[in-house]
Amino acid sequence: MSEGSKGSSLAFGQVVIGPPGSGKTTYCHGMQEFMGRIGRKVTVVNLDPANEAMPYQCGVDIAELITLPDVMENLKLGPNGGLIYCMEYLEANFDWLQEKLAAFRGHYYLFDCPGQVELYTHHEALKNVFAQLAKWNFRLAAVHLVDSHYCTDPGKFISVLCTSLSTMLHVELPHVNVLSKMDLIEQYGKLAFNLDYYTEVLDLSYLVDHLAADPFFRNYRRLNEKLVEVIEDYSLVSFVPLNVQDKESMRQVMQAVDKANGYSFGDQEHRSLEALMSAAVGADFHFTSTLAVQEKYVQSQDKALEEEVMDL
């Protein structure tokens, strides 16, 4: 994996990013197990210096290079400043990362990244790390996890869309946005629209109208309209729903990522021509998985309504 080497073999993987609590570590654990069962050799690379309890089998751990508690104690930095310092330190020690990754040549890589949003929207260190990996012939896709509970609050959902768009433009990688924890969405409250409205990011003017019904947001209608215009002008953001405990849901996300980083168009796993064409033709799996989750959500809502009627 020497820099600039044209003859070295390609390496495929995912950089798993997103806000704190969005389920990045859980996703890496679930995807490692899922891919292992279908025969892929998977290595998880922990790039989060604050990640102490890792449920997955970790191949490369940034804690061997630097940890957040040590930085905070020795440099008297807070958690945010400490994380930025850790990423800059990693950027300054590419040789350490290259040596560690070389031990897992031929594997599929899952990079578990920190949860500080600024690292993906403003700061350059992680972006430069990803760019360096590309020079080492890594073909990566960014998997941006967002907690599905934001769908229940139109204001927060617009904020999530802005964050997702900013992240896509800054990171500069093939991108798959994922709504995580879909198995818990019915616990967050009733959605204003059908689930496919949020996953496909359909006409957002309805969301602005819904927000305008709130006296607080009514004063900010013009601002919300402009934010929505920016999101729709780029027309880049959409989501794949994910329930880590559901094998079919994991398969749909894996298939979307494989198309994004080009893995599905290689000869790994001895894919047949038929499988290759089905991956290239379209995204029927996205619509199907959305319908499946939507059906479960509607059924849970109907059941709750029936229980309320029975109580009356």
CATH of the domain at 141: 3.40.50.300
pLDDT band at 257; cut points 50, 70, 90: very high
Q: Is residue 189 part of a domain?
A: yes
Residue 105 lies in a domain: yes
Cα 115–Cα 108–Cα 173 angle in degrees, nearest 5: 50
pLDDT at 9: 83
> pLDDT for 74-102, tens place per residue?
999 999 999 999 999 999 999 999 999 99
CA distance 274 to 243: 27
Identity of the amino acid at 37 = R
d(CA 236, CA 226): 16
Indicate whether 214 belongs to any domain.
Answer: no
> pLDDT of 115-149, one tens digit each?
999 999 999 999 999 999 999 999 999 999 999 88
Give the span between the Cα atoms of 117 and 167, in whole angstroms: 8
- In this prediction, residue 285 carries a pLDDT of 42
- The percent of residues in the chain predicted with pLDDT above 70, rounded, is 82
Q: In what order do the strands lie in the sheet with 138-147?
A: 58-61, 42-46, 108-112, 11-17, 138-147, 175-180, 240-241
Average pLDDT over residues 153-172: 92
In this structure, what token pair is assigned to residue 141? 């896709």
Which one has a higher pLDDT value, 283 or 236? 236
* pTM of the full structure: 0.81
Instruction: Report the distance separating Cα 217 and Cα 158, nearest Å.
Output: 12
**Residue 122: inside a domain:** yes
pLDDT digits (tens, 9 = 90+) for 213-251: 888 788 888 998 999 999 999 988 999 999 988 889 999
What is the extent of the structural domain holding 249? Answer: 11-201+237-311
User: Which of 98-102, 167-171, 194-198 comes out lowest in average pLDDT?
Assistant: 194-198
Long-range CB contacts (within 8 A, 24+) of 208-214: 210/154, 211/154, 211/155, 211/158
Residue 207 covered by a domain: no
110 within domain boundaries:
yes
Give dist(CA 49, CA 61) in Å, integer: 8
Taking only the tens place, the pLDDT of each residue in 44-66 is 999 999 988 889 999 999 999 99
Task: Note whether residue 242 is domain-resident.
Answer: yes
Confirm if 75 and 110 have CB atoms less than 8 A apart.
no
Contact 257, 272 (CB under 8 A): no
Residues 6+ apart with CB under 8 A from 169: 234
**Within a domain: residue 228?**
no
Q: Give the other-Cβ count within 10 Å of 8's Cβ.
A: 13
Q: Is the predicted pLDDT of residue 303 greater than 70, yes or no?
A: no
What is the rounded distance in angstroms from the CA atom of residue 134 to the CA atom of residue 158? Answer: 32
Q: pLDDT confidence of 266, banded at 50, 70, 90?
A: low
Looking at every residue in the chain, the average pLDDT score rounds to: 84
Say if residues 241 and 289 touch (Cβ distance below 8 Å): yes
DSSP states along 169-227: HHH-S-EEEEEE-GGGGGGT---SS-HHHHHTT--THHHHHHHHTSHHHHTTHHHHHHH
Residue type, 246: D
User: Does pLDDT of 173 surpass 90?
Assistant: yes
Count Cβ atoms below 10 Å from residue 262 Cβ, excluding itself.
Answer: 14
Report how many domains make up the chain: 1
Write down the pLDDT at residue 195.
83
What is the DSSP pairing of strand 138-147 with strand 42-46? unpaired
Q: How far apart are CA 103 and CA 86, in angstroms?
A: 23
Contact 18, 24 (CB under 8 A): yes
